[in-house]
Structure 1
């Protein structure tokens, strides 16, 4: 049985089994990063989950489609490896949020989209797919036997036409293992506070991280995601609109203990791959994050077998790679897509976006 309501932009929000399974296609790109962040910084995991839960619901109901809400991966990655403290991460997120809100309102991202060639945008998508695949291999390598079992489950259910159900089954099994290992936590409401994990601290490292993140965000979370909205959902969503909503998200979530968040083509492709077609998937996932915030402890999430999440990331990566490559026509354009993807994997998505834009602009002038 499916129920539906109307979104802010006039699209239906459906609440069905496929929306539920599709919602989890975004979480497999989020949870591993949050677990690692909670283990290496002073971040308050329950407050972070509240931020994700609220904005999954907000943007799902506003856009009426399963738009992703993900961590800003460059900044989160720098924090995980110790290059940024949480206060520096918060400052970088607020700065990035202010810039994204400003350029979105001024229409500057849309102007950039008219300059950047489609193969470059597709290349950014392909780079994210490669990065997700790399992360999947790393997670799966932690326990090859568990990963093999998860892959067998996903493959078997995909063959018989129930790929979305594999998400519920695999994550459910992982949850059972986590509870059996860490015990059943006592539900507890996160205490409301302003910057509960530390006041923002602007530093040289925070500024450098912001620049690196904005290169990724403009290419992947704004422009590439806008294109993917049309590809997968036949929706005309501008890159400027996405930039504005990302700015609002960061500026509103970080003061209450959240982390820098963005939209992204990876999470959007993940939701699509597992069956999501409307913003109802966001409502399901948002409620799930809010419920998890009541019981989230570092011990519980650390006990979840991340090898199973690695298996699901493979599915997400393949869906995104297919969406990036399939519309491309011509060997030269395909070479740009692959080149940007490889540079993004080897160096940085932001660097790949800038180099790809320059190379494409130069090639168009020489024709």
Structure 2
């Protein structure tokens, strides 16, 4: 089945098994982070899932491509790890969204990316990966037997050749355990309200986290995604257009109880690898997110030891992508500084060192 839409290249939206499996490919890293945030912070998970569903559908129709819609991983990862609070996450998301909307509108994103440098972007990714791994290990210690079983299940699924699906399998097991222990909640829609989990709080930590996120977003979610659209779909999607859509999406989502969101190149590659070729995958995944929003209360009973294993797996995936750098020593230095000090200091210091080395 196919439906013609406007947007980039007047592409058709297709609905097939390949589009369905491609849709699931985008949820491999999204759902573990979202579930962790729902279990460890006051975020309203029904609002988060509802808005994920809405924006998956919106950008699937607008672009006609299986663009990823995922949380800003640096901000969410720092919140899950306890480096910033949820109110600081909301403030940082609004700040990052405003900057992206402004830079995308005036068309300066590519120039900013040159100053940041790939090693610094990868270093921020590594810092978030290390913080997530630390948080995951701390959660696993609470019930080591269950954590070991979840880890063995992850390794078994990966050994069978389904490495990217391993997190979804373990996530499904965790949901089943939660349903057994707490029962299945009655389906309910989230109420429309502004900042349902608390008002944003601007702080030094929020600004620093926003800087780290912008480094990742410019390199990974705007420039890299633009290049990937050209490589995979022969479609010219400007990085400034992506920045504008990410900025507007975050500025709309955060006040309504959602998360700051972006178009990650990894999510787009995941969708493509699993078979998605059109924005139909977005509509399918959007519908699934809307259904999940109805029973999001299951997350309150999600076993934390299983959650810890999921966070470690996501951390490994992030760390692996961080190795794709032009300067491994600088990337490692930024990552370790982000772990031991904070991501903001690591980002600023990394940019300064990168500029000094580049000029020499």
- Quickly name the TM-score band, shorter chain normalised: 0.7 to 0.9
How far 1:288 moved relative to its partner?
A: 3.0
Aligned match of 1:102: 102
Give the alignment's TM-score, normalised by structure 2: 0.79
1:25 aligned counterpart, secondary structure? helix
* Alpha-carbon spacing, 1:170–1:210, altered in 2? closer, same or farther (3 Å): closer
Task: Point out the more displaced range, 60-69 or 271-280.
Answer: 271-280
* Alpha-carbon spacing, 1:79–1:125, altered in 2? closer, same or farther (3 Å): closer
Tell me, yes or no, if structure 1 residue 325 matches structure 2 residue 323.
Answer: yes
1:359 aligned counterpart, secondary structure? helix
How far 1:137 moved relative to its partner?
A: 2.3
Distance across 1 between alignment mates of 2:269 and 2:311: 8
8 A contact 1:21–1:167 mirrored in 2: no
Tell me, yes or no, if structure 1 residue 335 matches structure 2 residue 339.
Answer: no
Aligned match of 1:208: 204
How far 1:21 moved relative to its partner?
A: 4.8
* Alpha-carbon spacing, 1:75–1:24, altered in 2? closer, same or farther (3 Å): closer
Residues 212-244 of structure 1, C-alpha deviations (whole Å, 9 max, x = no match): 232022111222334553787746765533432
8 A contact 1:65–1:280 mirrored in 2: yes
2:190 aligned counterpart, secondary structure? coil
Pick from 16, 37, 43: which aligns with 2:41?
37
Aligned match of 1:174: 174
8 A contact 1:273–1:319 mirrored in 2: no
Aligned match of 1:65: 66
Distance across 1 between alignment mates of 2:331 and 2:272: 21
Distance across 2 between alignment mates of 1:138 and 1:232: 36
Distance across 1 between alignment mates of 2:330 and 2:290: 41
Aligned match of 2:225: 229
Report the count of equivalent residues. 348
Unaligned runs of 5+ in 2: none
* Alpha-carbon spacing, 1:321–1:91, altered in 2? closer, same or farther (3 Å): closer
Distance across 1 between alignment mates of 2:301 and 2:124: 33
8 A contact 1:37–1:76 mirrored in 2: no
Distance across 1 between alignment mates of 2:181 and 2:239: 44
How far 1:335 moved relative to its partner?
A: 0.8
Aligned match of 1:220: 216
Question: Aligned ranges for residues 117-156 of structure 1 at < 5 Å?
Answer: 117-156=117-156
Aligned match of 1:360: 354
Aligned match of 1:243: 243
Pick from 309, 331, 342: which aligns with 1:348?
342
* Alpha-carbon spacing, 1:261–1:35, altered in 2? closer, same or farther (3 Å): farther
* Alpha-carbon spacing, 1:37–1:77, altered in 2? closer, same or farther (3 Å): farther
Give the alignment's TM-score, normalised by structure 1: 0.78
Distance across 2 between alignment mates of 1:273 and 1:319: 17
Distance across 2 between alignment mates of 1:280 and 1:292: 19
Distance across 2 between alignment mates of 1:317 and 1:82: 16
How far 1:70 moved relative to its partner?
A: 0.7
Distance across 1 between alignment mates of 2:238 and 2:342: 24
Residues 60-93 of structure 1, C-alpha deviations (whole Å, 9 max, x = no match): 554523524215754895699697675x765554
Distance across 1 between alignment mates of 2:2 and 2:131: 35
1:120 aligned counterpart, secondary structure? helix
8 A contact 2:122–2:216 mirrored in 1: no
8 A contact 1:139–1:310 mirrored in 2: yes
* Alpha-carbon spacing, 1:288–1:71, altered in 2? closer, same or farther (3 Å): farther
Aligned match of 1:28: 32
Aligned match of 1:52: 52
